[in-house]
């Protein structure tokens, strides 16, 4: 769908997408479809949260779904549209591609296996996946521990992908790249640096963890993650689509803004997409309610035994500048509180789970970002975070 002049784009969006001062047409900020809706306004920051998601769709997002919970009450809000053809109001219970929030589930499965004595977090991953490393064993003489995969300090290089930019990826969006291929291509490149010396956030770490889960249990990653995490957490609307390109059940369409040769942008529907290569690092479809349930039950020790749960709140102290733990990232809110966060992004969809360890504040959102894989934080998402975590 074309974009015409209207609402101004932010500076960050201009830099990230090459946008001119444009917005989607027609501008629907005053229509019922774009007005924010909510089921509760008991949060003290309800006014700020309403303002954060007001006026959608705009140049940055077509919809936003937000849940804030904790000791100060709850707030539920949604804004925007289901799609840019019918302009129906966004479904607040919609399913979406959860991206890297999948890693929280994967980390939980590995930590359960550690609690059961099936996996040693300090042991080399080479012990569990010897055939994977065998073709390039000489390059990996220094072992990579399972814990280093969990906290992104393995030193592995990225594996093969189906494109290095949006245009390439979109052209191959219905093709299947198996996790084993992704992992093998990474190992073939050799390590980027010695394990445990620095953190570098890469999905390949969780690709290997997914393969480790399969090797140790003898079952597919998807079945183990469902049995061990999704069902106990009450995540009834979450799933792993694998080679299925569709999001089944209620969902809002996702779009990517693509620069036009003459200036401005057009929006490409990216809802249908095979995510098999994302595997244990990003293949999950979920809802904000499901991710909220996961956060509460995980942090309260109902999914992972508390001794192993400590791994999720432990950042390696020997690595300068480290912020990542097992499946999460440590973030200091403006008021000084420590919040544990996991972001996720697939084209058309950006999501977050964030919570203080004591669950006094829990934030979950899904934003239908028009540049979900861009380097800059989506302005709508930033407003949500600022409103929810202002203290």
Confirm whether 344 is domain-assigned: yes
Confirm whether 82 is domain-assigned: no
Residue 38: pLDDT above 70? no
Confirm whether 103 is domain-assigned: yes
- Cα 384 → chain centroid: 16
The confidence score (pLDDT) of residue 335 equals: 84
Please say whether the beta carbons of 267 and 82 come within 8 A: no
Q: Phi first, then psi: give them for residue 215, nearest 5 degrees.
A: -65, -45
Q: Bridge partners of 67? A: 76, 364
SS (H, E, C) the chain: CEEEECCCCCHHHHHHHCCCCEEECCCCCCCCCCCCEEEEECCCCHHHHHHHHCCCCCCCEEEEEEEEEECCCCEEEEEEECCCCCCCECCCCCEEECHHHHHHHHHHHHHHHHHCCCCCCCCEHHHHCHHHHHHHHHHHCCCCEHHHHHCCCCCCCCCCCCCCCHHHHHHCCCCCCCHHHHHHHHHHHCCCCCCCCCCCCCCHHHHHHHHHHHHHHCCCHHHHHHHHHHCCCCCCCCECCCCCCCCCCCECCCEEEEECCCCCEEEEECCCCCCHHHHHHCCCEECHHHHHHHHHHHHCCCCCCHHHHHHHHCCCCCCCCCCECCCCEEEECCCCCEEEEEEEEECCEEEEEEECCCCCEEEEEEEEECCCCCCCCCHHHHHHHHHHCCC
Residue 156 to residue 188: CA distance in whole angstroms = 10
Confirm whether 337 is domain-assigned: yes
Number of other CB atoms surrounding residue 168 within 10 Å: 12
Residue 197: pLDDT above 60? yes
**Domain with 380 in it:** 96-388
Residue 239 to residue 276: CA distance in whole angstroms = 12
Confirm whether 79 is domain-assigned: no
Residue 291 to residue 236: CA distance in whole angstroms = 11
Residue 71's pLDDT band, with cuts at 50, 70 and 90, is confident
pTM across the whole model: 0.90
The confidence score (pLDDT) of residue 176 equals: 96
Distances (CA, A) of 176 to 171, 246, 271, 275, 358: 12, 14, 16, 8, 41
Residue 205 to residue 47: CA distance in whole angstroms = 40
Q: Bridge partners of 351? A: 344, 366
Residue of 330, 333, 334 lying closest to 342 (CA atoms): 330
Confirm whether 67 is domain-assigned: no
Confirm whether 1 is domain-assigned: no
Interval 77-122: pLDDT, tens: 999 999 999 999 999 999 999 999 999 999 999 999 999 999 999 9
Number of domains, the chain: 1
Residue 29: pLDDT above 60? no
Instruction: Give the mean model confidence (pLDDT) for residues 325-339.
Output: 94
- Read off the CATH number of the domain in which 286 is found: 3.40.710.10
Q: Which stretch of 141-145, 238-242, 387-391 has the lowest confidence by average pLDDT?
A: 387-391
Confirm whether 30 is domain-assigned: no
Residue 36's pLDDT band, with cuts at 50, 70 and 90, is low
Residue 54 to residue 80: CA distance in whole angstroms = 8
């Amino acid at each position: 769908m074309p974009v015409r002049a209207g609402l101004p784009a932010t500076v960050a969006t201009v830099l990230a997408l090459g946008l001119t001062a444009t917005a989607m047409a027609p501008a629907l900020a005053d229509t019922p479809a774009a007005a924010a809706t909510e089921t509760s306004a008991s949060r003290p920051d309800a006014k700020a949260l309403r303002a954060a998601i007001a006026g959608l769709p705009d140049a940055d997002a077509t919809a936003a779904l937000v849940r804030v919970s904790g000791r100060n009450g709850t707030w539920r809000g949604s804004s925007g549209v289901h799609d840019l053809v019918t302009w129906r109001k966004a479904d607040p219970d919609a399913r979406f591609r959860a991206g890297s929030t999948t890693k929280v589930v994967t980390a939980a499965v590995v930590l359960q296996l550690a609690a059961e004595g099936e996996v040693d977090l300090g042991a080399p991953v080479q012990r569990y996946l010897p055939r994977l490393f065998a073709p390039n064993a000489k390059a990996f003489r220094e072992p990579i521990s399972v814990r280093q995969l969990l906290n992104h300090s393995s030193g592995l290089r990225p594996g093969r992908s189906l494109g290095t930019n949006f245009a390439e990826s979109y052209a191959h969006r219905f093709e299947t790249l198996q996790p084993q291929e992704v992992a093998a291509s990474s190992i073939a490149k050799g390590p980027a640096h010695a394990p445990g010396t620095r953190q570098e956030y890469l999905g390949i770490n969780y690709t290997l963890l997914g393969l480790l889960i399969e090797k140790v249990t003898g079952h597919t990653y998807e079945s183990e993650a469902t049995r061990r995490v999704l069902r106990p957490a009450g995540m009834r609307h979450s799933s792993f689509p694998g080679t299925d390109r569709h999001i089944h059940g209620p969902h809002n369409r996702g779009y990517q803004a693509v620069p036009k040769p003459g200036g401005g942008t057009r929006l490409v529907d990216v809802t249908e997409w095979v995510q098999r290569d994302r595997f244990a690092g990003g293949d999950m479809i979920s809802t904000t309610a499901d991710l909220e349930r996961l956060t509460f039950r995980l942090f309260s020790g109902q999914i992972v035994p508390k001794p192993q749960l400590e791994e999720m709140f432990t950042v390696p102290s020997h690595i300068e500048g480290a912020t990542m733990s097992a499946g999460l990232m440590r973030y200091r809110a403006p008021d000084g509180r420590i919040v544990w966060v996991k972001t996720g992004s697939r084209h058309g969809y950006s999501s977050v789970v964030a919570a203080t360890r004591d669950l006094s504040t829990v934030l979950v959102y899904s934003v239908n970002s028009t540049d979900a894989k861009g380097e800059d934080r989506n302005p709508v998402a930033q407003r949500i975070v600022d409103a929810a975590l202002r203290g």
